[in-house]
């Protein structure tokens, strides 16, 4: 599984990345977490509000910090 955390590097983006990494560890799933700060790549993914989380190509949230509960649900735990 590949999880992309999209954002330019603002505090909310850092918080989102931290929560994603915690949720992956808690769920015990194998996932590659990638930080994306390139605006062109974000636009290609259809994301125009950050922070955003993309899991295996599917945009799960955009424009807000997801809760750990939401992340765990997306990870299937």
Where in the sequence numbering do the catalytic residues fall?
10, 13
- Are 37 and 8 in contact by the 8 Å Cβ rule? The answer is yes
- Are 75 and 25 in contact by the 8 Å Cβ rule? The answer is no
Q: What is the DSSP string of 18-48?
A: HHHHHHHHHHT---EEEEE--HHHHHHTT--
């Amino acid at each position: 599984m590949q999880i992309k955390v999209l954002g330019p590097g603002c505090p909310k983006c850092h918080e989102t990345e931290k929560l994603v990494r915690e949720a992956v560890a808690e769920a015990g799933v194998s996932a590659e977490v990638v930080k994306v700060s390139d605006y062109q790549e974000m636009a290609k993914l259809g994301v125009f509000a950050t922070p955003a989380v993309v899991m295996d190509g599917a945009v799960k949230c955009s424009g807000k910090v997801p809760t750990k509960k939401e992340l765990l649900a997306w990870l299937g735990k």
